[in-house]
């Protein structure tokens, strides 16, 4: 048997340098780059570079040999070679000024077909959804680009079209979950078929040129080329999942034909589609009636209530509430506010929205509409204001979505200093020290309790109580006025009122039923009932929790847990416990610190107040003396 030579087996044969790969595929470096990006073949780092590079220790770009062998089968390699031929032939035609042939050749430009590659890279639809983050971010970015060197205008137009289509799906499916304004751009997170898809939309500012030295535009353009095809297929599938017509169309009822629309129908329609403000044509004629999540929950109920199922149920409820967050509200977007992100958010949570018709096509109502409930403004003041609506800053919308409830608008009024905009990507229920201010932002109900618990001294409490009473009264009056107003204008949140009324009717029904029962009962049971009525209601006792017992039970449980841990996991368990303890300790320390600070602050405040009062008393006394004199 022949003795194998060095580097004939093992790692040296597993890897191929880029040069070799290019030679083997017989394409140029640029074509190879393109092929690799389209096929999703990326360079690898070997375990032992020297061995993989057959003894050479310089750092080369290496590929897996199997990957390259896989590329050899690819039919688009032939198209890439055709490009070379095409370039030669058209170049010749151009040189000898044979424009007839040139035109013919240009029309027969060999198009790359990527359908099979999309299928190959993402065998299932869910796989494609998992990789949608990059795709969406890039396409949203490219949709803002003008035509640049290496980035043709058609590409950015295509990006715009596809992203708009995706946004339409988002609105129709109401799958948006989290939004965040950062200095990078707008973060959006949607849940599509159980997959969390996150993307960034750049701020709406004029295009800023990018230096060539930082980013390889050619490479990014190839990525975008692939992603456009992919998003096209994803959009088609998503639209069909919702029984919507693809490409997006409007039902004939939405757009009446008038001379203006008939003049240039395609641009008119595409403008309206880009406005994102109309419902799209559905193929099934049935209006949306989404009950399926509830059904799922009912099915789950049979499995018993473990903690996870309870949590899932809660989440489902929360999401159901979130999907109709802005239902019944009518928004008007002022000119200075970025339109698109707000329209997406408002519409995907059931609100109605419009804007100045000179800003963008597709406005449905104008500013003078009295039924508008909220006007979104981003300027310190406004000359003409309507009393029937709230003038809020755009952050209100974002914060409402992140906290999944309608927040009080008073903090977000026009010209107010806004509360901080918190990231929804940070878990609010994390077990670490959360300062009370932040906690209050997440749960506004905590504000009042926090404020009330602060004032312990009787006088202050009395003062503040009086103030509170006054405020409450004012609020009540305002609420009353509002109610009257609502009745006048036909009720802006009619839904909630109906909901309130329904249970009361039920109660009455119940009482009547009881009365009926009493008449029918025989004397024996009557006596029993009377006895029951004689039974008096005793004053209840406060259920006292035996803290020691509880603590003991906890400790016991913990011990049991510790005993049940497998020996090989013991270290991990200990580590977890230690971490927990340290975290608790830290939290306790911070809380203590805070308490101390607050106590000192309060003390200082109290003394200041007392001194002020003393000073006032002395002043009064001196004044009295003066007057008596």
Partner 1 sequence: MSVTKKKRISKKNKSAWRKTDIQDVEQFLEDQRQEERIGTFADKKDADLFVVDATPQKVKPIILTPKEKRKLNAKKPMRSHQALENTSKVQDPIVKRNHVKQKKNGRNIELEVCNPTKGRHRQANSDRARYYEKLDQRLADKNSNLKTAKDIWQVEDFRDKIPGLKDEKGWISRELALHITGNVGRKVVKTHESLRHSTTKAKKFEPPHPGLSYNPSLEAHQDLLAKVVDREEGIIKTEKHLQRVTTRMFSKVTPEQRDLRRLMEMSEGVGDEADEVVENEDKADENDDKAYHTVNAPVENKKKSKHARRNELKQKELKRQHEAKKALKKQTADLLRIKSIRAEVDAEAEELNELKKHRKKVAEKKKFEPKRLGRHKFVEPDIDVNMPEDIAGNLRNVKPESSLLKDRFQNMQKRNILPTTVIASRKLAKIKRFPRSSHKEPGVSYQDLRQQRKATAAAAAAAKDTIKL
What residues numbered 387-416 form the site for partner 1, per CB under 8 A?
393-395
Where in 40-59 is the site for partner 1 (CB under 8 A)?
40-45, 58-59
Where in 444-503 is the site for partner 1 (CB under 8 A)?
none
Residue 243, both tokens = 């029984």
CB of 340 to partner 1, least distance (A): 13
From candidates 50, 55, 56, 70, binder to partner 1 by CB under 8 A: 70
| Closer Cβ to partner 1, 270 or 364, answer by number | 270
CB of 499 to partner 1, least distance (A): 34
Cβ atoms of residues 189 and 401 within 8 Å: no
CB of 417 to partner 1, least distance (A): 7
CB of 62 to partner 1, least distance (A): 8
Burial, 138: exposed, middle or buried (Cβ in 10 Å; 0-12, 13-18, 19+)? buried
CB under 8 A: which stretch of 62-70, 290-298, 307-315, 596-604 binds partner 1?
A: 62-70
Q: How many whole angstroms separate alpha carbon 225 and alpha carbon 46?
A: 30
Q: How many whole angstroms separate alpha carbon 70 and alpha carbon 49?
A: 23
| Closer Cβ to partner 1, 273 or 275, answer by number | 273
26: left (phi over 0), alpha (psi -120 to 50) or beta: left
> φ and ψ at 62, to 5 degrees?
-110, 150
The verdict on 435 binding partner 1 (CB under 8 A) reads yes
Burial, 428: exposed, middle or buried (Cβ in 10 Å; 0-12, 13-18, 19+)? middle
CB under 8 A: which stretch of 133-141, 280-288, 532-540, 614-622 binds partner 1?
A: 133-141
Nearest to 88 by CA among 29, 28, 34: 28
CB under 8 A: which stretch of 106-114, 464-472, 542-550, 621-629 binds partner 1?
A: 106-114
Q: What is the DSSP string of 72-103?
A: HT-THHHHHHHHHHHHHHHHHHHHTT-HHHHH
CB of 113 to partner 1, least distance (A): 9
Number of residues that bind partner 1 (CB under 8 A): 86
Where in 531-590 is the site for partner 1 (CB under 8 A)?
none
Q: Which helix (H) or strand (E) holds 415?
A: none
| Closer Cβ to partner 1, 119 or 528, answer by number | 119
From candidates 300, 359, 422, 446, binder to partner 1 by CB under 8 A: 422
Where in 237-256 is the site for partner 1 (CB under 8 A)?
237, 240, 246-247
Enumerate residues 6+ apart whose C-beta is below 8 A from 339.
333, 355, 359, 360
CB of 558 to partner 1, least distance (A): 27
Q: How many whole angstroms separate alpha carbon 277 and alpha carbon 590?
A: 49
CB of 246 to partner 1, least distance (A): 6
Distance of CA 235 to the CA centre of its chain: 19
| Closer Cβ to partner 1, 164 or 276, answer by number | 164
CB under 8 A: which stretch of 129-137, 300-308, 523-531, 577-585 binds partner 1?
A: 129-137
Give CA angle at 596 (593, 598), nearest 5°: 110
| Closer Cβ to partner 1, 280 or 492, answer by number | 280
From candidates 81, 411, 421, 602, binder to partner 1 by CB under 8 A: 421
The CA–CA distances, whole Å, from 236 to 39, 169, 232, 243, 458 equal 22, 10, 6, 10, 67
CB of 221 to partner 1, least distance (A): 11
| Closer Cβ to partner 1, 259 or 380, answer by number | 380
- The three-state secondary structure class of 142 is helix
| Closer Cβ to partner 1, 373 or 393, answer by number | 393
CB of 242 to partner 1, least distance (A): 14
Bridge partner residues of 192 (DSSP): 195
The contact pattern for partner 1, residues 179-218, with x = CB under 8 A and - = no contact, is: -xxxxxx-x----------x-x-xx-x--x-x-xxxxx--
CB under 8 A: which stretch of 121-129, 381-389, 453-461, 527-535 binds partner 1?
A: 121-129
Where in 162-181 is the site for partner 1 (CB under 8 A)?
180-181
The verdict on 233 binding partner 1 (CB under 8 A) reads yes
| Closer Cβ to partner 1, 6 or 116, answer by number | 116
b/e per residue 443-456 (b: at least 16 CB within 10 A): eeeeeeeeeeeeee
The contact pattern for partner 1, residues 346-385, with x = CB under 8 A and - = no contact, is: --------------------------------xx------
Where in 305-344 is the site for partner 1 (CB under 8 A)?
336-338
Cβ atoms of residues 224 and 159 within 8 Å: yes
Q: How many whole angstroms separate alpha carbon 27 and alpha carbon 21?
A: 9
Enumerate residues 6+ apart whose C-beta is below 8 A from 612.
none
Cβ atoms of residues 280 and 270 within 8 Å: no
The verdict on 617 binding partner 1 (CB under 8 A) reads no
């Amino acid at each position: 048997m022949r003795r194998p030579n060095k580097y004939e087996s093992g790692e040296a044969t597993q890897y191929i340098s880029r040069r070799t790969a290019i030679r083997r595929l017989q394409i140029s470096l640029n074509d190879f780059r393109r092929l690799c990006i389209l096929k999703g073949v990326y360079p690898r780092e070997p375990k032992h570079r020297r061995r993989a590079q057959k003894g050479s220790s310089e750092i080369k770009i290496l590929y897996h040999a199997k990957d390259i062998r896989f590329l050899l089968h690819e039919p688009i390699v032939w198209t890439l070679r055709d490009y070379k031929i095409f370039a030669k032939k058209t170049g010749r035609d151009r040189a000898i000024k044979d424009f007839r042939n040139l035109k013919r050749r240009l029309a027969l430009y060999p198009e790359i077909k990527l359908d099979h590659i999309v299928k190959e890279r993402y065998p299932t639809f869910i796989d494609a959804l998992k990789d949608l983050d990059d795709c969406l971010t890039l396409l949203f970015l490219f949709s803002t680009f003008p035509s640049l060197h290496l980035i043709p205008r058609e590409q950015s137009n295509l990006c715009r079209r596809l992203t708009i289509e995706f946004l339409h799906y988002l609105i129709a499916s109401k799958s948006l979950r989290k939004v965040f304004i950062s200095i990078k751009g707008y973060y959006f997170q949607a849940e599509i078929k159980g997959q969390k898809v996150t993307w960034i939309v750049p701020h709406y500012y004029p295009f800023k040129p990018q230096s060539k030295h930082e980013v390889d535009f050619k490479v990014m353009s190839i990525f975008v080329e692939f992603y456009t095809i992919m998003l096209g297929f994803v959009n088609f599938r998503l639209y069909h999942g919702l029984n919507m017509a693809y490409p997006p169309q409007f039902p004939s009822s939405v757009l009446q034909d008038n001379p203006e629309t008939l003049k240039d129908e395609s641009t008119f329609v595409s403008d309206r589609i880009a406005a994102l403000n109309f419902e799209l044509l559905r193929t099934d004629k049935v209006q949306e009636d989404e009950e399926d999540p509830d059904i799922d929950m009912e099915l789950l109920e049979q499995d018993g209530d473990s903690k996870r199922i309870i949590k899932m149920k809660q989440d489902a409820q929360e999401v159901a509430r979130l999907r109709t967050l802005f239902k019944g509200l009518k928004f008007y977007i002022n000119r200075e506010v970025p339109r698109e992100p707000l329209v997406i958010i408002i519409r995907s949570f059931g609100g109605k929205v419009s804007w100045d018709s000179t800003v963008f096509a597709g406005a449905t109502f104008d500013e003078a509409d009295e039924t508008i409930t909220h006007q979104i403004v981003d300027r310190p003041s406004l000359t003409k204001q309507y009393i029937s609506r709230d003038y809020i800053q755009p952050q209100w919308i974002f914060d409402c979505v992140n906290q999944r409830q309608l927040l009080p608008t008073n903090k977000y009024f026009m010209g107010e200093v806004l509360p901080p905009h918190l990231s929804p990507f940070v878990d609010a229920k994390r077990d670490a020290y959360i300062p009370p201010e932040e906690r209050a932002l997440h749960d506004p109900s905590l504000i009042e309790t926090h404020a009330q618990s602060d004032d312990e001294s009787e006088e202050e409490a009395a003062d503040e109580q009086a103030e509170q009473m006054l405020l409450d009264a004012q609020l009540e009056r305002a609420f009353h006025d509002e109610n009257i107003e609502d009745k006048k204008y036909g009720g802006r949140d009619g839904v909630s009122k109906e909901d309130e009324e329904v249970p009361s009717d039920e109660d009455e029904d119940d009482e009547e039923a009881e009365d009926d029962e009493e008449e029918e009962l025989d004397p024996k049971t009557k006596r029993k009932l009377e006895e029951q009525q004689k039974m008096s209601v005793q004053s209840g006792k406060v259920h006292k929790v035996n803290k020691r017992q509880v603590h003991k039970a906890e400790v016991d449980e913990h011990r049991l847990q510790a005993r049940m841990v497998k020996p090989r996991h013991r270290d991990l368990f200990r580590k977890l416990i230690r971490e927990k303890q340290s975290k608790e300790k830290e939290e306790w320390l911070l809380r203590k610190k805070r308490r101390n600070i607050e106590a000192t602050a309060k003390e200082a405040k109290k003394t200041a107040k007392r001194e002020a009062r003393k000073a006032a008393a002395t002043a009064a006394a001196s004044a009295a003396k003066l007057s008596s004199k």
